[in-house]
A and B are shown apart, each in its own frame.
Chain A
Amino acid sequence: MIHSLFLINSSGDIFLEKHWKSVVSRSVCDYFFEAQERATEAENVPPVIPTPHHYLLSVYRHKIFFVAVIQTEVPPLFVIEFLHRVVDTFQDYFGVCSEPVIKDNVVVVYEVLEEMLDNGFPLATESNILKELIKPPTILRTVVNTITGSTNVGDQLPTGQLSVVPWRRTGVKYTNNEAYFDVIEEIDAIIDKSGSTITAEIQGVIDACVKLTGMPDLTLSFMNPRLLDDVSFHPCVRFKRWESERILSFIPPDGNFRLLSYHVSAQNLVAIPVYVKHNISFRDSSSLGRFEITVGPKQTMGKAIEGVIVTSQMPKGVLNMSLTPSQGVHTFDPVTKMLSWDVGKINPQKLPSLKGTMSLQAGASKPDENPTINLQFKIQQLAISGLKVNRLDMYGEKYKPFKGIKYMTKAGKFQVRT
C-alpha cells in the first residue's frame, strides 16, 4: 500500500527516507517540489500529487511534509489517516515532532516505522503497544543507557498482543487506580459583520487516561445523552448498548486514548460564548483609518474566558498601526500585515478594547475588503454544548478507583468578519 515515505522540510530538503517494498528513487520527489514551488505557501501544497508512475500523498504538520509514495489504487482517506497516525506517534514518542528532533532520534524513528508498517501495510499503530516494543527515549533512560549499555528495545513481546481484548494488555497492575476523563469542546464559527452567526458547530471529544488494575469494565452515563447524535467511538465501546440505552459501556485500553468524538451542529444548540464589537473604517480621501475592537463575554454561564488572542490579517494597503490596548500586549508586523493582540483573561466589568488609527499608503484607493478577525480563547470547567457526565461505574474488579472529570471549551476556527 505505502511504498515509501519521505520526510521533507519546508525549505525542500529530504531529511529522511524509508522504503518498504523496493527502493524508489528520490527523484520522485521532484514532482512534489514542483508543486511546492507553485504553491505560494507551504500549506497550499495539494495533498495528492499524480506523477507518471506514482501518486504522492502528503500531510503537512509541524512544518514537515510527510510524503507517502503510492503505486496502486488506494483509499485516499486511509493513507492520510495513517500518515497522521505516524505524526501522532512521533509526537507521542519525542514530545515534539520537529526536524531536529527527528534527526536526533533517527534510529528510534526507523525502529518505529519498521514496526508500524511491513511490506507497506500497517501493523502495530496503537501507541501503548508500540511503546512496549520500542521504549520511547527519555532523558533519564538515555543517561541510564549510556552507563549500563542497556537498550531502548523491550526484550519481551508485548503481552497485549495475546490478550482477548486486542486494545488492552493483560496483567496490568497499578498501586493507585485512577480514571480521568476530559471533555474538550472546540467551537468553530463564522460570525458576520452584524454579529449574527453564519455557521457554528461544536467538535467535542472525550479523552481518557485510565490506569486501572486488571480487566475493569466501565460504564459512563450522561445527564443529557440526546445531545450526542453524531458520534464516533473508540472500538472498545459496545455500540449496541449505546444504541439501546444511551450508555457508554467498555473495557478501556490501558493509558491514554480517545473514548469518543462528537459533533453538535444544530444552530440553536451552539451557544457563542464571546462577542466582538468592531469599528474598522477606511476613508477614500484620507490616509488614516480608524480601528477599534472590543471583546466581551456572552452566554458563558458565569465562567471566565481566558487565553484570549485576537489575530487579524490587515489589507496590503495598511502601512502601520498605532493602537492602544486597555489590557494585554499587541504587535503588528508591517511585512506580513499581521496584527496580533494577546488579551489574556476577559474581565466582564471592564471589557478589553484596542483602539487607534491605521496609516495607509498615500494615494492608494481604499481596500475592497475589511479584515477578518480570528479569535482564540479557552473556558475552563464548561462544555459549551451543555454535555454533562452523570456517573461512572466500574464492574469486574473489587477495588475503588479514583475518578475525575474535567470540562473545557476552546475556540477552533473562530472568525469574525468585519
Chain B
Amino acid sequence: MSGVEETSNEPLQVKEDQEFDVEAEDHLGDDYVVDPTRYMFYRDRKEWADLEAVPQDDGPNPVVKIAYSEKFSDVYDYFRALLKNDEKSERAFALTADAIDLNAANYTVWHYRRVLLQGLSKDLREEMRYITAIIEEQPKNYQVWHHRRMVVEWLNDPSEELEFIADILSQDAKNYHAWQHRQWVIQEYKLWDDELEFVENLLEEDVRNNSAWNQRHFVISHTTGFSDAAIMEREIQYCLNQIKKAPHNESAWNYLKGMLQDRGMSSQPGLLERVLELKETHCSPYLLAFLFDCYEDALENSVQKENAEEDEWKETLKKALEICELLAQEKDTIRKEY
C-alpha cells in the first residue's frame, strides 16, 4: 500500500480512534492506552475483541483477485463479521464509514449503513452532510447518489437538493447522475418554478450542453407543454437565436426537430424560410439534415393528401436529393454512405 494513502487516511483514523477511546476509557478504565499517532487495526482494538473477523474466501484459484493492503482487509474482515451477525450498533455504524472510505462503490456497505441509520434512529441531517461530502469527492458513483435519494425521501425534505446539484454541475455540467437526481427531485417534489431559468443560465455558459437542452425539454413538457402556439414560437425563436450564436450545435437542432417531428416538420409557417436564410450564413450538417427532414415530411404528406401539384412534389424531391449530395460530398462526409 502506498505511503501516500497511509498518511492521507491517518488523521481521520486517529480522530475516530480517539473518539472511540474516550468511550472505551469510560468502560475499561485508565489502563487502556493508545498512541494517538498510530492507526490501529480493528483486530487490535479491545472493543472489537468479541468479534471474529471473516476473511474473504475466493477458494483455491481466485480470479481477478484484488491485492488488498492489511488495513483494507482488516476493515472489511470486520465488516463481514458484522454483516454475518446482522449487528446493529454504533460501532457497526462507525465501521461503515471506514469501509466506505476504502471503497465507496460497495453497495452492500451502503445498504447496511441504511439499515443502521433506521435501526439506530441516527440523525439524518448529519447523514445529509456526510453524503454531501462523499458525493463532492466521488460524483460519478451510483451508490452515493442512490443513498442521498433514500435520505432525502426519509426526511421528505428536498430543500437542499437543487443548490447541491447545481454545485456538482458547476464542476461537471454534464454529470448524468446529477441530472438524473435533479429530475427526480423536481418531479417528486414539484419544484418546477425556477428550473427553466436554471437551464437558460447553463445554456448561457455553454450553449452546447446537451444535458441542459434535455432539461429544457423536460421542464417544458411537464409544465406548459408544447401544444400552445405561443410556447412553440418562443421555443423556435430561442433555438434559432442559439443557432445563430453557435451554428455547429447538434443539441439545438435536435431540440428544434424534436419539438416538431410529431406535429409535422412543415407545420410551422415560415420556419422553412427562416432555416433557408440561415443556410447561407450559419450552415451545418444539422441544418441540412433539418431541411432534408422538412422536405421528406412535405413529400410524405403530399402523397397522403394528394392535393399537391406534381411539379411541386418533384421540386421538393430534387431539393431533398441535392441536400443529400451536399452532405455526402462536402458537409458531412463521414456519413456519406448513409
B and A form one assembly: no
Q: Which residues of B contact A (CB under 8 A)?
A: none
Q: Which residues of A contact B (CB under 8 A)?
A: none
